[in-house]
């Protein structure tokens, strides 16, 4: 019998075995930091911190409800999210009777603890919102943006003139091209200098997105687009893994794909040009950092899948099987494979906090069943090997002497409606077990905390200390583990 893989397709499962020897490029070691927020100007607000990159993009990683006017709250930002680009969201009420209203402020964080004084109503107004004296990342980016706008303004005027001038053979036009090219080169040199000056700051990684690529100002509109495509990647360093920690990379790639969209005048042309766009971009990224390479494959995978471009999906196959391509899935596989090594006898079992089928909060740390041990079983009713394991486990565990020794906490990771229905039917026959269900399956927090890639998974813990006793692979191994204790 095969395990039912809840997260992996066949290609990803194959490469997972190679990850023990594949080097993982980590970001520079940073520490957890704190974000201290002084709230004012409103009656009350819920404060949420949302990441703008990674698997939890635009999802809250921290939430603090009920912060009152004049109060201060401190958010601990874990190093796994750093450096990064974030959104602080305020769901505020101006008065006690008001309906919550949202406002958002974008911030950058790296190695420096931040302190922010903010009025949510005017959270993007410098007169109402400011950081502590000496803050670096955000203040530097504000200064860069202002200076960059001035630098680009004259370049933009020249480009606009050249794009709209009607006599492309005139001396004026030719001189304009020379002036534009000189200013373009000077501007890009300025960008490079600024990035070097601010290289210790995370925000310097975003300067490259402002690079102005070479473009042919002669010929047709199609010629200009093709010229821009051929030089689009000139200004970005794909060897820099911090690129994927910015929201700019996604916007930048959207603009790149839109260039191909302008050339796609028919569906047939679209289905040939968009795969070409992906292959060209991925081949560029392949020469850079494995994380950027993987990000690029993820980007086009989402695009091809959502738009039904089968030819595009086809060109991704060799990249998905490349162990150097650290896609989001492969990174998660590696994290979990490495994490499994930490769930050893004697280590503390991760907390399980979730609602039970009756809607009541279940917390493993507070769960004190009769017996010496708790068996945590991750399973799926739609998994034939899981069902086989349950059919062997239940009669044995139901024996009075075993039941006195060990209780079962069965956590379902069923996702489809059909599997959830089957799970509900099966639980009626599994009396005496504590049943939980997480609809997010292996993408859920509980599965991530226990590094579950496939089901069934069994973890035996001490009922009192909640420390791991054993991680048997079969019911026979479970019997032996219990009998030895």
CATH number at residue 385: 3.40.30.10
Q: What is the pTM of this model?
A: 0.71
Q: What is the CATH number of the domain that holds 95?
A: 2.60.40.180
pLDDT at position 305, please?
A: 85
> 10 Å Cβ neighbour count for 100?
12
Give the number of domains in the chain.
3
- Say if residue 49 is in the same domain as residue 175: no
Query: Could you tell me if 434 and 352 lie in one domain?
Result: yes
Range of the domain at 406: 338-484
Quick one: 107 and 153 in the same domain?
no
Whether 425 is covered by a domain: the verdict is yes
- 350 and 478 together in one domain: yes
411 within domain boundaries: yes
Q: Is 377 part of a structural domain of the chain?
A: yes
Nearest CA-CA partner of 118 in 88, 146, 140: 88
What does each of the 485 residues of the chain score in pLDDT, given as a tens digit? Answer: 334 333 333 323 333 323 333 333 344 457 999 999 999 999 999 999 999 887 667 788 899 999 999 999 999 999 989 999 999 999 999 999 999 999 999 999 999 999 999 999 999 998 889 999 999 999 999 999 999 999 999 888 888 888 888 888 899 989 999 999 999 999 999 999 999 999 999 999 999 999 999 988 877 888 889 999 999 999 999 999 999 999 899 999 999 999 999 998 888 888 889 999 999 999 999 999 999 999 999 999 999 988 888 899 999 999 988 999 999 888 877 777 788 888 899 999 999 999 998 889 999 999 999 889 999 999 999 888 899 999 999 999 999 999 999 999 999 999 888 899 999 999 999 999 999 999 888 878 898 889 888 889 999 999 999 999 999 989 999 998 888 75
Question: Are 343 and 467 in a shared domain?
Answer: yes
137 near 199, Cβ under 8 Å? no
Does residue 57 lie in a domain region? Answer: yes
Q: Tell me the pLDDT tens digit for each residue of 79-105.
A: 989 999 999 999 999 999 999 999 999
Secondary structure class of 62 (helix, strand, coil): strand
Q: Is residue 407 part of a domain?
A: yes
Asked if residue 317 belongs to a domain, the reply is: no
- 355, 476: one domain: yes
66 neighbors 44 (Cβ within 8 angstroms)? yes
Residue 312 lies in a domain: no
Q: Where are the beta strands (DSSP E) in 94-236?
A: 101-109, 114-118, 129-131
For residue 316, give every residue at least 6 positions away whose Cβ sits within 8 Å of its Cβ, in sequence order, or none: 278, 282, 297, 300, 301, 304
Domain boundary among 212, 246, 267: 212
pLDDT digits over 245-265, tens only? 998 999 999 999 999 999 988
CA angle 350, 352, 357 (to 5 degrees): 160
CB 436 within 8 A of CB 362: yes
Report if residue 103 sits inside a domain.
Answer: yes
Rg of the chain over all Cα atoms, to the nearest angstrom: 28
The verdict on 50 and 151 lying in the same domain is: no
């Amino acid at each position: 019998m095969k395990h039912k893989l809840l997260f992996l397709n066949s290609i990803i499962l194959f490469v997972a075995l190679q990850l023990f020897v594949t080097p993982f490029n980590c970001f520079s070691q940073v520490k957890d930091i704190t974000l201290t927020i002084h709230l004012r100007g409103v009656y009350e607000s819920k404060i949420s911190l949302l990441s703008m990159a990674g698997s939890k993009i635009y999802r809250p990683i921290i939430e603090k409800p009920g912060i009152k006017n004049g109060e201060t709250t401190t958010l601990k930002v874990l190093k796994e999210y750093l450096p990064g680009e974030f959104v602080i969201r305020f769901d505020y009420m101006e008065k006690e009777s008001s309906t919550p209203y949202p406002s958002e402020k974008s911030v950058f964080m790296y190695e420096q603890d931040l302190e922010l004084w903010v009025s949510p109503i005017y959270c993007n107004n410098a007169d109402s919102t400011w950081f502590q004296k000496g803050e670096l990342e955000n203040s530097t980016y504000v200064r860069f943006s202002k200076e960059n706008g001035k630098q680009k303004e004259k370049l933009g005027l020249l480009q606009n003139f050249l794009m709209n001038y009607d006599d492309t053979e005139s001396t004026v036009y030719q001189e304009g091209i020379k002036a534009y090219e000189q200013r373009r080169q000077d501007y890009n040199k300025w960008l490079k200098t600024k990035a070097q000056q601010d290289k210790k700051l995370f925000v310097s990684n975003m300067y490259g997105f402002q690079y102005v690529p070479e473009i042919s100002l002669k010929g047709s509109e199609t010629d200009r687009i093709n010229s821009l495509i051929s030089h689009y990647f000139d200004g970005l360093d794909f060897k820099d893994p911090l690129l994927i920690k910015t929201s700019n990379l996604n916007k930048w790639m959207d603009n790149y794909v839109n260039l191909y969209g302008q050339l796609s005048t028919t569906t047939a042309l679209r289905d040939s040009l968009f795969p070409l766009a992906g292959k060209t971009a991925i081949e560029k990224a392949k020469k850079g950092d494995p994380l950027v390479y993987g990000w690029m494959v993820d980007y086009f995978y989402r695009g091809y899948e959502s738009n039904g471009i089968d030819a595009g999906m086809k060109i991704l196959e060799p990249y998905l099987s490349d162990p150097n391509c650290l896609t989001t899935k492969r990174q998660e596989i590696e994290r979990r494979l490495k994490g499994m090594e930490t769930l050893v006898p004697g280590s503390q079992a991760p907390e399980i906090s979730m609602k039970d089928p009756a809607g009541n909060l279940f917390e493993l740390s507070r769960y004190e069943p009769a017996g010496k041990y708790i068996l945590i079983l991750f399973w799926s009713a739609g998994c034939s090997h899981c069902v086989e394991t349950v059919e062997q486990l239940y009669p044995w565990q139901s024996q009075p002497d075993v039941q006195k020794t060990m209780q079962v906490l069965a956590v379902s990771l069923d996702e489809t409606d059909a599997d959830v229905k089957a799970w509900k039917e099966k639980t009626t026959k599994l009396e005496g077990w504590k049943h939980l269900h997480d609809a997010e399956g292996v993408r859920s927090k509980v599965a991530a905390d226990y590094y579950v890639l496939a089901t069934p998974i069994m973890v035996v813990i001490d009922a009192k200390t909640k420390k791991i006793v054993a991680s048997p692979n079969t019911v026979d191994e479970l019997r032996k583990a219990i009998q030895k204790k």
